[in-house]
Amino acid sequence: MPGGQALLSGDVRALARAISAVEEQRPRAVALLRDVFPRTGRATVLGLTGSPGSGKSSLVDRLVAGYREEGRKVGVVAVDPSSAFSGGAILGDRIRMQRHARDDGVFIRSMATRGHLGGLARATNDAVDLIDAAGFDPILVETVGVGQDEIEVVRTADVVAVVLVPGMGDDIQAIKAGILEIADLFVINKADHPGADKLEAELAYMLDLVEGDERSRPAIVRTVAVRGEGIDELREAVRAFLDSAGRERRLARRRERAEARLRAVLAERVVRWVVERTFPRGAWDGVVEDIAARRVDPYTAVEGLIERLEVR
Amino acid sequence: MPGGQALLSGDVRALARAISAVEEQRPRAVALLRDVFPRTGRATVLGLTGSPGSGKSSLVDRLVAGYREEGRKVGVVAVDPSSAFSGGAILGDRIRMQRHARDDGVFIRSMATRGHLGGLARATNDAVDLIDAAGFDPILVETVGVGQDEIEVVRTADVVAVVLVPGMGDDIQAIKAGILEIADLFVINKADHPGADKLEAELAYMLDLVEGDERSRPAIVRTVAVRGEGIDELREAVRAFLDSAGRERRLARRRERAEARLRAVLAERVVRWVVERTFPRGAWDGVVEDIAARRVDPYTAVEGLIERLEVR
């Protein structure tokens, strides 16, 4: 498998082609993933999420520069299912990232698969594996929005940073349980804006309410990404989290990621198999027609299908 | 089935409870959906999507008022998987909608299911069915963000309106193919802001490039939702689209929706069934552990599982 070999040796063009193959579910994609799989699981995956406009791309840009100074090869995956709608600000951020474009030690990729039912999460995890196999570490996974699929991708990273900004409504009312669950650390970006103190105080108060155990409380780091302020502190907080979380927690997170991947692949493949096998040509369209005409509901239709399945 | 009867008679409390049952996948949910299914498919479903900050909620608020003046009962489903992160502006919009709260002819519901793999699309479509069965028509489905799942929900509506605003970066570079594919009509909201003419010209130019056939070109409607301007024109454009699209296109759209639903239910149920049946207690965890330790890749694991499936 020449593509696999080139990829494992860190060839970025082979890597880019491999990710495209995975995204488009080309036949060679599975063989490629299988090939490189034993060489994955080494990179630290850092997930960054938060509202649009919170400056995640600038943060990522600065983090990349910081990790490069440490001499590490850095991968970036921007998960952006909404690219069709994304505004100039986001485009501008992307362009800013271009300053790393000529650096072979930085690999940047946007994922915008418009697949069905978790296809984005599946493709993104596959891409992370490929980038990992190519020797990049850490890998930053940045979500552009905060949709369900994007959260799904980020929450199983080795460390999850949630980015908030003062005065954008990310206040006490808006920060609901979900965000606390997935955050290993919080970043208050644009910390030079009014309201940063208030946001930090509210966040700390809320974390105290929820956690109870002082040691496990996520750190709160203040940054002004566009000026590069607080980036060293953020990298330090990431490192501290990974150290203190320990091997047990890291393994638990990786099991979670493995399970999410198994479920995603299962959903894609099993559904395809079942549709192909249980619906002779035309029968599928007939069922769709019946549902559209309200003659049968989808639950009853699926139940009838499941009754015909057997496990050897 | 008393719940089903109350719902069919338009009882909004029964309707709210039914949607909760569907959202939380309670056992009675499927029976309820099955029960009301023959009474669905009557309402016109109007999907509204666009970037956060484009004023969709204000538009929906005004549309609701307009349809109420026509004497119609209106349903609203706000698809908001990102509610954990949503800002004050969105909360403010929600509160503004409260002016319809005491009107029994308006039913408003937010969907924020954090399920897996298309669960949001499945639950939202189920909710639309329930609202339809309760006699509301039209039903407006508004997405808060533009994530994959949200697009999935909206694109099979009877008419899809994509909301843009001038000067927010929704310019020619940002409007990619995806948005053109799903839009039946475009709304330029905040049309009193600078750049509205430019946005409309660029949009028209792009639509000309893509479509070719003048008759099928989506209409472009200008609104200033907060002042109620252009709302009558928007309702007229919706009506005109539905009239001109004709019965054939409407049926095709409904078949698409039926197929998407069949797939979503299939994914949820078949995957659950396969996991329960093919993995004796503990075996699932063993496979997850193998994937986490990189002993087996998820594709190979799933393939081994599929080999054991049979169809009667």
What number is the average pLDDT over the span B131-154? 83
Tell me if chain A has a CB within 8 Å of the CB of B41.
Answer: yes
Q: Are B109 and B78 in contact (CB under 8 A)?
A: yes
Query: Do the chains contact at B299 and A33, CB–CB below 8 Å?
Result: yes
Query: Residues B181, A114: contact at Cβ < 8 Å?
Result: no
* Assigned token pair, B144: 């808060």
Query: Is pLDDT at B152 greater than 80 in this prediction?
Result: no
What residue type is B8 in one-letter code? L
What are the start-end ranges of the E strands in chain B?
Answer: 45-50, 74-79, 106-111, 139-143, 159-164, 185-188, 219-222, 309-311
Distance CA(A204)–CA(A192), nearest Å, equals 18
Cis peptide before B218 (omega within 30 of 0): no
Mutate to test the interface with B, among A33, A116, A148, A261 (most CBs of B within 10 A): A148
What is the pLDDT confidence band of residue A187, given thresholds at 50, 70 and 90? Answer: very high
Least confident of A90-94, A298-302, B48-52, B264-268: A90-94
Nearest to A171, CA basis, from B82, B52, B88: B88
Average of per-residue pLDDT values in chain A: 82
Is A171 at the interface with chain B, CB within 8 A?
Answer: yes
For A252, the closest chain B residue by CA position comes to B292
Taking residue B146's Cβ as centre, other Cβ atoms within 10 Å add up to: 26
As a whole number of angstroms, the distance between CA B143 and CA B138 comes to 16
User: Domain segments of chain B: what residues?
Assistant: 40-246
Is the Cβ pair A147, B145 closer than 8 Å?
Answer: yes
Cβ–Cβ below 8 Å for A298 and B30? no
Please report the pLDDT score of residue B97 as a whole number: 60
**What one-character DSSP code corresponds to residue A217?**
S
Q: Which two structure tokens, joined as six digits, stand for B28?
A: 């009675």
Residue type, A178: G
Residue type, B151: I
The model's pTM: 0.73
User: Is A131 in contact with A75 (CB distance < 8 Å)?
Assistant: yes
Distances (CA, A) of B49 to A92, A213, A269, B150: 23, 42, 30, 8
pLDDT digits (tens, 9 = 90+) for B41-50: 999 999 998 8
CA distances from A251 to A157, A245, B202, B293 (A): 11, 10, 51, 9
Neighbouring residues of A270: CB distance < 8 A, sequence distance ≥ 6: B270, B271, B274, B302, B305, B306, B309
Q: What values do phi and psi take at A110, rounded to 5?
A: -95, 135
Angle between helices B283-292 and B298-306 (to 10 degrees): 150
Residues of chain B neighbouring A303 (CB-CB closer than 8 A): 269
Contacts of B299 in chain A (CB under 8 A): 30, 33-34, 265, 269
Q: Cβ of B93 under 8 Å from any chain A Cβ?
A: no
- Residue B147's pLDDT band, with cuts at 50, 70 and 90, is low
Residue A51's pLDDT is: 72
Who wins on pLDDT, B268 or B290? Answer: B290
d(CA B299, CA B303): 6
Q: Does any CB of chain B come closer than 8 Å to the CB of residue A252?
A: no
The Cα–Cα gap between A77 and A143 comes to 8
Going B110 to B116 to B121 to B125, the CA torsion angle's sign is: negative
Cα separation of A55 and A61, whole Å? 10
pLDDT at A287 over 70: yes
Task: Over range B266-276, report the average pLDDT.
Answer: 84
What does the alpha-carbon distance between residue B159 and residue B149 come to, in Å, rounded to a whole number? 18
Contacts of B266 in chain A (CB under 8 A): 271, 274-275, 298, 302, 305
Q: Beta-carbon neighbour count of residue A177 at 10 Å?
A: 10
CB contact under 8 A, A288 and B118: no
Task: Give yes or no for residue A46 having a pLDDT over 90.
Answer: yes
Q: Which CATH class name applies to B40-246? A: alpha beta
pLDDT in tens, A71-110: 999 999 988 655 444 333 344 445 546 667 678 899 998 8
Has residue A189 got a pLDDT over 80?
Answer: yes
Q: What is the pLDDT of residue B171?
A: 45
Mutate to test the interface with B, among A297, A305, A307, A308 (most CBs of B within 10 A): A297
Amino acid at site B129:
D
Partner residue facing A294 (CB), from B40, B146, B169 = B40
CATH topology of domain A40-245: Rossmann fold (3.40.50)
Closest chain A residue by Cα to residue B29: A299
User: A69: distance to nearest CA of chain B, Å?
Assistant: 30
Q: What is the pLDDT of residue A93?
A: 44
Using an 8 Å Cβ cutoff, are B111 and B80 in contact?
A: yes
Residue A54 has φ and ψ, to the nearest 5°, of -85, 0
Helix (H) / strand (E) element for A161: namely: strand A159-164
Of A182, A124, A83, give the one whose Cα is nearest residue B145: A83
User: How confident is the model over A148-167, as pLDDT tens digits?
Assistant: 666 777 878 999 999 988 87
Whether residue A186 contacts residue A158, with contact meaning beta carbons closer than 8 Å, is answered with no
Single out the residue of B150, B146, B138, B139 nearest to residue B175, CA to CA: B146
Residue B2: what pLDDT? 55
Give percent above pLDDT 70 in chain A: 81
